[in-house]
Amino acid sequence: MRFVPILVTLAVLLVTSPLCADEISFERNGKQYDLTGQVIATHEAGIVLHTPDGKMWPIQQQEITSRQKTTASFKLQTKQELIDSVLAEMPPGSQIYETAHYLVAYNTSRSYAQWVGSMLERLHRGFTSYWSQRGVKIHEPNQPLVALVFDNQNSFANYAQAELGDAAKSVIGFYSMHTNYVVMFDLTGGAGNSRRNLGTRDIQRLMSRPDFQWSLATVVHEATHQLAFNSGVQQRFADVPLWFSEGLAIFFETPDVSSSRGWRGIGQISKPRLGQFQKAAQSGQPFLPDLLSNDDSLRKAATSLDRYAQAWAVTYFLQKRMANEYDAYLTELSQIAPLDDPPEGARIKMFQKHFGADLIQLENEIREMMSSLRP
Ligand SMILES: [Zn+2]
């Protein structure tokens, strides 16, 4: 009996504390931030704060100037509040095109925003039905997903500069774990206003052209990251191996502009990635242990193309040949909390637990499969 009061207290704590908002003040680059949100992860080096607009802020302990719990509860913004927040970040005159799951904020033509909205919805449908057919539990995003569509590469780069630095000028789209937005620009581009007359059908026709396929794949790739982070497949700021996130996004990126229903590009052979894999394979150098543990090798310009191709190849092999094991591995990765710091070697151990201890044998099977595929 004497345990009962303790259990009650614990239960009350568990129920109330996650709902109360945190007020955090911090200083970064000479600028003061006062935010209210919910601390969703704590580490000796810092915290992650989730704010009502859906953003997540990784904040270092040394940046924090004050921190307190409020009695008010933490609530995500409603759709209308979110629309107002998003428009405040866009150039003046921008508008919102709403679909079932997305808010597309744009300062280009409405037809282009519509085309983006319908593409994103098809991807959402394809993504959801793919995992449900596989028996993997995912959930709907807990807020509408936001896509920003700028009218040209310059206005896109102006916005992206703050997050990407100089890389903003050379990319055509990105997903931000901080804002949770997928950001892109009108690919029909071109000078003058002629494109403003394009209808969604004209845009569809233009996007089917071979020269648009790579750009389109990039946008779909980034939108897949957004879906993975908002459906429970992965948690933002969690230590999920980069090859896994990237391999998954590439698995979904194969463009499909023709179908009007679900996304049919899922799991098709990625011709550019297969070609790159086969080229890299000629060296005969083993890649798997490094791919599994070294995220930087995917980020560095010198190795990134090979590594992305290998990430795709491993994902393709595992999803086709070891689907149940892949799903169990995905489920275990989805439970890694933000800022969780796994010990050295933990990634390889977890991988071996699901796919077997013999990495050399597995790598040989992947190579064999890849050499039998035709780009
Ligand atoms: Zn990616």
Between the CA of 177 and the centroid of ligand 1 the distance, in Å, is 11
What pLDDT score does 298 carry? 96
Between the CA of 286 and the centroid of ligand 1 the distance, in Å, is 23
What pLDDT score does 195 carry? 62
CATH level 3 topology of 79-231? Glutaredoxin (3.40.30)
What pLDDT score does 196 carry? 63
Between the CA of 225 and the centroid of ligand 1 the distance, in Å, is 7
Between the CA of 253 and the centroid of ligand 1 the distance, in Å, is 10
**pLDDT tens track of the chain, all 375 residues?**
433 333 333 333 344 455 789 999 999 999 999 999 999 999 989 999 999 999 999 999 999 999 999 999 999 999 999 999 999 999 999 999 999 999 999 999 999 999 999 999 999 999 999 999 999 999 999 999 999 999 999 999 999 999 999 889 889 999 999 999 999 999 987 444 456 678 888 888 888 888 888 888 899 999 999 999 999 999 999 999 999 999 999 999 876 666 555 566 788 888 889 999 999 999 989 999 999 999 999 999 999 999 999 999 999 999 999 999 999 999 999 999 898 888 889 999 999 999 999 999 999 999 999 999 987
What pLDDT score does 262 carry? 52
Quick check: 348 and 249 in contact, CB under 8 A? Answer: no
Architecture of the domain delimited by 17-72: Roll (2.30)
Between the CA of 11 and the centroid of ligand 1 the distance, in Å, is 40
What pLDDT score does 255 carry? 66
Between the CA of 245 and the centroid of ligand 1 the distance, in Å, is 7
What pLDDT score does 14 carry? 40
Between the CA of 372 and the centroid of ligand 1 the distance, in Å, is 26
Between the CA of 244 and the centroid of ligand 1 the distance, in Å, is 10
Domain ranges of the chain: 17-72, 79-231, 271-372
Between the CA of 192 and the centroid of ligand 1 the distance, in Å, is 32
Quick check: 180 and 229 in contact, CB under 8 A? Answer: yes
Between the CA of 221 and the centroid of ligand 1 the distance, in Å, is 6
What pLDDT score does 200 carry? 83
Alpha-carbon gap, residue 57 to 49, rounded angstroms: 5
Between the CA of 332 and the centroid of ligand 1 the distance, in Å, is 20
Between the CA of 246 and the centroid of ligand 1 the distance, in Å, is 5
Between the CA of 314 and the centroid of ligand 1 the distance, in Å, is 15
Between the CA of 226 and the centroid of ligand 1 the distance, in Å, is 10
